[in-house]
Structure 1
Amino acid sequence: MKTHASRLTATTSRLLKFLLDHREHVVYRNEILEKVWDAHGLRTSSHSLNKYISDLRAIFRNMGCVEEIIVTVPRVGFMVSASILIERVDNSAPVIRNENDAEAIALSSSGCTHKGTRKFSAGWAKKSGYALLALFVLLILFWSVSADRYRLIFAAGQDEGYYLGSIDSCPVRTFNAIPNEQQQKMMVLVRQLIAKQKMVCLGNSVFLL
């Protein structure tokens, strides 16, 4: 089966992850705005939220999903359709054993699945972090306040995060400042993981971890 790939911005990834974390339940608009934007020091409007939802739906359609994945509940919010089957599969990746552990994740899909007919797959990497591959995407886990810390490398806006280095013409940025003595090790890991996942530098993309 042909596999497609797509890239999400940090905000779009947080939105999709939040919806999938609450799948089969209606999520209020205000709650989405608070958790996806306000909690990260960002501001947006209900109109902008609608645009992000429309963008996700367009990507799903491009991946061959003919059924409505993100359902609109009028005057309330959104939810992921209960008819969508989400599965987890093991997906190991190389890990750096320090407080700045990172993981590179390719966003890919083998197709869309309705319960009983087609299948979505979702992956998670042990110790270094986990990410759900639901519908078409390996989802994002960001820096956690718990003992375990997670990272994802993906395309995002150039004004986000701290500058770490560059790969080809694409900057590498982090959500948190990396100590100078750790930066070289992080760049080595980033290059290895990007090569393993066959990710490439395109246009104005930024690798964010």
Structure 2
Amino acid sequence: MVFTIFNMIAFRSSDGAMWNIAQPDRRVSFTTIPARLFTYLLENADKMVSREELLNNIWNKYGLEPSNNSVNQYISLIRKSLSELGCEEEIIKTIPRVGFYISGKLVSYNQETPPSVETTSTKAQPAIKQSRLLRGYKPALLAISLIISTLLVLQPFRFATDHLDYRFPKSTLYKIGNIATCPLYTLSASSPDIAARKEKLAAELAAAHVPCANNEVFIFHSGEHYAYQQSGRAFIIRCTNSDHTLSHFSDCKGVYAFAK
């Protein structure tokens, strides 16, 4: 089985290989346990998977004895590997005291490897239709790219006319807190722990570059790797939202951060 994740990463369950679809040379290979664990989570996308269920199906079922922190260690390894392949989205969500969750909107799968991806087989792979479409999902990075492109194109006209508002493609915003008196939103839902970390990082970026002012809102996005270790990419934009509907923004200023 080959899973497509976030429409950019492919994972083959048979041998634990995972690669960037656009750049097949960027790849990693999991050993048996992390490959088995990731496969189980992907096969159960849209379902809450408890730690006990993972321990029973990944270790106990095969007569293996897990250590006290086995699940956390391998989940961390999988997240790090996804980040190294360019996926900053929070694919595996941790639900405190409950377990782990992967949204079905982020995952599709095929019985064989897509023909555009290099494999070890000597036979040409047939064209394969995805058995599960990504229905209506707009990746957060695409939304950010559209925002930045819009600002770059329209900003010169604003200087000429001294009045121009921006309308962005519709996207769901999730409130995670406030920066001073300005509400703070993200482009994807986060666990309470991740939301708190993102709120803190967003406040630091805003204080340094785009402080809160009246009638303004912040939109922040970062990968989980950045939220926990402050390495990777993050983006914050501050906009005036005079009608308070989150659909009409003006006077936007964005800051892009990259930490190694």
Q: TM-score, normalised by structure 1?
A: 0.43
Indicate the structure with greater strand content: 2
Which of the two has higher C-alpha Rg?
Answer: 2
**Which structure is richer in relative contact order (CA contacts within 8 A, separation 6 or more)?**
1
